[in-house]
Chain A
Amino acid sequence: MKRFVVLLVILAVLAAPLSVLAQGGHRETDPFWNPTPELIEEWRVIDGVEEGAQIRFWTMSLSPTFNDYINKIVENFEATYPEVDVIWEDQPWDSLRDNVRNTIAAGNPADVININPSWISELAEAGSLMNMDEALAPYPEIRAQYVDGAWVEGSYDGVSYQIPWYLALRNFLAYNRAILDEIGYDPADLPTTWAGLLEFAQYVRENSDYYAFSESWGEPSGLGIVGDFPYNDIPVWNEDHTQVVFDTPEAVALLQSWIDALNNDLIPRESLTDDHREMIDRFSEGEIAVLRMAPHMLRLVEENNPEVFANLGIAPGITGTSGVNGVDVQSLVIPAQTPYPNAALALAVFVTNPQTQAAFSKEVGIYPSNLLSYQDPFFQEIEEGNIQSAIRPLAYDYVVNAENRPLSFPNSAEIEAIIRGETQAALLGVKTAQEAITDMQNRINEVLAAAQ
């Protein structure tokens, strides 16, 4: 028994430096992990923070993986604003939306909440969120630090109700080198357009039992094909923004290409019901050759199947006809009901400040919404054997040039369901692509008319 305990102690001692190495050894020298009094002073940027404020901070599925990081944020924030106490509560991603709605309805929401920007419109419509354009108007130098493309992501009626937190460079293509080798395909020839992807899919099916890619059409939320229209230069709104007008030959052709891909067995039939996690699982299981993804999702591939992860390569992503790349944003919002608006704003700004965000990127392959973060030399480092690190030097240009073309609708959940239903009807052959697009437009306009 004694020998067993000694062995455990030796293992623990050996494991401690390993765990530091696993973090890339950045923590020892990083200013976020070792803040000086000057830096703490520099971090204090918001005025009028309420004395004795106790604020709750909700994150989305970051615990337990990032407990150290979030706890350090809380520690640093409380050192910067000693008059404020922060209670951090992590929420599971699949119930967060309900929890936010319910707590706002009950008059007791958390003070700073990490949400998906697509949920913002319904909360903004009900007047439940702080207007961030107004909140940061007295601090133009802070507002200027954020990537513009990310700032507009959570806009509703031209107003931003969020501070962008971490970003995912959504448009990369992860490929399974083993599959490409097997079918004799050069990764340099991987497609960058939707039409090219379909041709590649045809090649993969003809030369193997694999699929080239799969889709996540079963995603229970999101705007589906309509969300793709702006990136394919298909107009969505009329001039006065009262009706949707996407019933065009281009929209019909895009939907028809989805139908053809399914009917010609170019993608797995379960794309009809898969969500993005299931799509990643499919790639992790070695069923598909390429995965359209944001690099931070590779963590899931690594967890699912280290063998596939070891065979990963990364290539430029697939763009629509516009050639524009968007960026995925995680937002921080502040409910209008918070009794501590300044303390909450201070926390949201603190979480997104240059050092705090750069430190997060060193923990996981996400990217900061704060342009000053990219001054950290880390974003120029490429680590041997670390596939995600190859993207770092490209990240600044990517986010600066990213052009998000977000769509926001009132009654968004209802509109999402209409889009999902009509798309499914077309994919399953119940309607033609033209009928589905026409019906989709008409039904959305009915909802918009009722909302007006």
Chain B
Amino acid sequence: MNLTAEASQTRLRPRARVSPQERRRTLVAYLFLTPALAFLAIFLFLPLVQAVYLSFTRYDLLNPPQWIGLANFTNLFNDPLFWHSLKNSFIYLIVTPILIVLSIALAIVVNRKLPGVAFFRALYYMPAVTSVVAIGMIFDFVFAEPAGLINGALRALNLIDTPIHFLTAPSSILASIMVVTIWRGVGYYMVIFLAALQSIPEELYEAAAIDGATPFQQHLRITVPLLRPAITFVAIISSIAALKVFDEIYIMTGGSGGLLDSAVTAVFYLYRQGFEYLNLGYAAAIAVVFTLITLSLSIINLRFMERGATDVS
């Protein structure tokens, strides 16, 4: 069939009539969608557009924005602290695989029908519902020197002479804060894996056991492959969360970003430029660049995981 004939057929095809009932149903659907759309438009899309606009301006919050073209982006690419903060954000991604492994392990443990297991499930989940300020106070004590929880215990056991500088040595601050993030996140991701584990049919394990598979082999050959959708999901959301980390950095460093800016991540740097220095335009440029990086990474992550899932199937 040539294109002209197809077009004429399309023209001749009578339009399907929409009944008033269907039209009303469509209208109702749109009405239900409107609040959510309005919410998203006001609190997400509009600020997004505004941030892009501000990234081309000099804006200090107290005076109107001035258009300066690409100057913010040029300065950004020549700003060593931006690259340092970006590097720290990527280093922070190390928490993602650790979180996945630990939370799967925990989920497997609490998935067993043992007495009191519900208590432990709740206990592991508690950090997820604890305020980050409270967590900061706890870890301030844990990392304190010379007599915090860890340093005090190690000294009492004569394992160290001088305290470990968890938060007072630039080389260890970021790692110490990553520990806090892992402690805080592991219970949350455990719940996701627990839900996924409970959807795996028990017969698969029974069949594997009959075939002589050890519990470890069962987890490796059954649990992990069947958890792949959950792993993909957790990998994406936890890596986005790791890239966006702010609360822990702010609380654990008292808002300073750590000695010699050792714990300054991209989002923290954005905050500092925007809300401490009042360089809102520059902060918006950081936000735009960082959003593009996060978006690209998430797409790559998704593709990679999907390909992995196809290979397994």
A interface residues with partner B (beta carbon < 8 Å): 94, 98, 101-102, 104-105, 122-123, 126, 128, 218, 220, 268-270, 272-273, 275, 411, 413-414, 417, 420-421, 424-425, 428, 430
B167 on the A face (CB < 8 A): yes
On whether the beta carbons of A273 and B256 are closer than 8 Å, the reply is yes
By a CB distance below 8 angstroms, the chain B residues around A220 are 254-256
Closest to A106 in B: B61
B278 on the A face (CB < 8 A): yes
- A101–B60 Cα gap in the complex (Å)? 10
B26 on the A face (CB < 8 A): no
Kindly supply a per-residue 1/0 record for chain B positions 254-269, scoring 1 wherever the CB is within 8 Å of any chain A CB and 0 otherwise: 1110011100000000
By a CB distance below 8 angstroms, the chain B residues around A104 are 61-62
29 A-B pairs whose Cβ atoms sit less than 8 Å apart in the complex: A101-B61, A104-B61, A122-B62, A123-B62, A126-B60, A126-B62, A128-B62, A218-B256, A269-B165, A269-B168, A270-B144, A270-B145, A270-B167, A270-B168, A273-B167, A273-B253, A273-B254, A273-B256, A411-B277, A413-B276, A413-B278, A414-B277, A417-B272, A417-B276, A421-B260, A424-B259, A424-B260, A425-B260, A428-B169
B275 on the A face (CB < 8 A): yes
Closest to B280 in A: A105
Report the minimum CB–CB distance from A233 to chain B (whole Å): 29
Report the minimum CB–CB distance from A440 to chain B (whole Å): 14
On whether the beta carbons of B254 and A272 are closer than 8 Å, the reply is no
By a CB distance below 8 angstroms, the chain A residues around B168 are 269-270, 272-273
On whether the beta carbons of A428 and B260 are closer than 8 Å, the reply is yes
By a CB distance below 8 angstroms, the chain B residues around A413 are 276-278
By a CB distance below 8 angstroms, the chain B residues around A424 are 259-260
Report the minimum CB–CB distance from A425 to chain B (whole Å): 6
Closest to A415 in B: B277
- The interface on chain B, measured as residues whose beta carbon lies within 8 A of the other chain's beta carbons, has a size of 25
Closest to A275 in B: B254
B152 on the A face (CB < 8 A): no
B interface residues with partner A (beta carbon < 8 Å): 60-63, 144-146, 163, 165, 167-170, 253-256, 259-261, 272, 275-278
By a CB distance below 8 angstroms, the chain B residues around A126 are 60, 62-63
Report the minimum CB–CB distance from B171 to chain A (whole Å): 10
Report the minimum CB–CB distance from A35 to chain B (whole Å): 39
- A180–B62 Cα gap in the complex (Å)? 51
On whether the beta carbons of B275 and A98 are closer than 8 Å, the reply is yes
Contacts A220-B256, A273-B253, A413-B276 supplied; 16 other A-B pairs, CB < 8 Å: A94-B255, A101-B275, A102-B61, A126-B60, A126-B62, A220-B254, A269-B145, A270-B168, A273-B168, A411-B277, A413-B278, A417-B276, A417-B277, A420-B256, A428-B170, A428-B260
Report the minimum CB–CB distance from B90 to chain A (whole Å): 22
By a CB distance below 8 angstroms, the chain A residues around B60 are 126
Pick from B254, B260, B272: contact of A430, CB under 8 Å: B260
On whether the beta carbons of B62 and A101 are closer than 8 Å, the reply is yes
On whether the beta carbons of A122 and B254 are closer than 8 Å, the reply is no
Report the minimum CB–CB distance from B163 to chain A (whole Å): 8
Report the minimum CB–CB distance from A179 to chain B (whole Å): 16
- A379–B51 Cα gap in the complex (Å)? 55
Closest to B59 in A: A105
Report the minimum CB–CB distance from A229 to chain B (whole Å): 22
- A67–B167 Cα gap in the complex (Å)? 37
Closest to B62 in A: A126
On whether the beta carbons of A105 and B276 are closer than 8 Å, the reply is no
Q: Which of A98, A123, A413 is most buried by chain B, counting CB atoms within 10 A of its CB?
A: A413
By a CB distance below 8 angstroms, the chain A residues around B275 are 98, 101
- A101–B61 Cα gap in the complex (Å)? 7
Closest to B252 in A: A273
- A121–B242 Cα gap in the complex (Å)? 36
Report the minimum CB–CB distance from B75 to chain A (whole Å): 11
- A428–B171 Cα gap in the complex (Å)? 11
Pick from B163, B167, B272, B278: contact of A122, CB under 8 Å: B278
Contact status of A273 and B259, CB under 8 A, knowing A105-B62, A126-B60:
yes
By a CB distance below 8 angstroms, the chain A residues around B167 are 270, 273
By a CB distance below 8 angstroms, the chain A residues around B145 are 269-270
By a CB distance below 8 angstroms, the chain B residues around A122 are 62, 278
By a CB distance below 8 angstroms, the chain B residues around A417 are 272, 276-277
By a CB distance below 8 angstroms, the chain B residues around A428 are 169-170, 259-260
By a CB distance below 8 angstroms, the chain A residues around B278 are 101, 122, 413
- A425–B255 Cα gap in the complex (Å)? 18
Report the minimum CB–CB distance from B279 to chain A (whole Å): 8
Closest to A285 in B: B147
- A220–B264 Cα gap in the complex (Å)? 14
- A272–B146 Cα gap in the complex (Å)? 14
Closest to B275 in A: A98
Report the minimum CB–CB distance from A264 to chain B (whole Å): 14
- A425–B260 Cα gap in the complex (Å)? 7
By a CB distance below 8 angstroms, the chain B residues around A414 are 277
Report the minimum CB–CB distance from B85 to chain A (whole Å): 13
- A128–B62 Cα gap in the complex (Å)? 8
By a CB distance below 8 angstroms, the chain A residues around B163 are 269
- A126–B255 Cα gap in the complex (Å)? 25
Q: Which of B144, B163, B260 is most buried by chain A, counting CB atoms within 10 A of its CB?
A: B260
By a CB distance below 8 angstroms, the chain B residues around A272 are 168, 259
By a CB distance below 8 angstroms, the chain B residues around A101 are 61-62, 275, 278
Closest to B173 in A: A273
By a CB distance below 8 angstroms, the chain B residues around A94 are 255
- A94–B254 Cα gap in the complex (Å)? 10
Report the minimum CB–CB distance from A169 to chain B (whole Å): 26
By a CB distance below 8 angstroms, the chain A residues around B256 are 218, 220, 273, 420
By a CB distance below 8 angstroms, the chain A residues around B255 are 94, 220
- A173–B5 Cα gap in the complex (Å)? 97
For the complex of A and B, 8 pairs with smallest distance between CB atoms: A126-B62, A105-B61, A220-B255, A413-B276, A414-B277, A272-B168, A413-B277, A220-B256
- A367–B85 Cα gap in the complex (Å)? 44
Closest to A414 in B: B277
- A270–B259 Cα gap in the complex (Å)? 11
By a CB distance below 8 angstroms, the chain B residues around A105 are 61-62
By a CB distance below 8 angstroms, the chain A residues around B63 are 126
Closest to A269 in B: B168
Report the minimum CB–CB distance from B283 to chain A (whole Å): 13
Closest to A287 in B: B147
Report the minimum CB–CB distance from A91 to chain B (whole Å): 16
On whether the beta carbons of A218 and B61 are closer than 8 Å, the reply is no
By a CB distance below 8 angstroms, the chain A residues around B276 are 413, 417
- A427–B165 Cα gap in the complex (Å)? 14
- A83–B276 Cα gap in the complex (Å)? 38
- A417–B255 Cα gap in the complex (Å)? 12
By a CB distance below 8 angstroms, the chain A residues around B254 are 218, 220, 273, 275
Report the minimum CB–CB distance from B155 to chain A (whole Å): 12
By a CB distance below 8 angstroms, the chain B residues around A273 are 167-168, 253-254, 256, 259
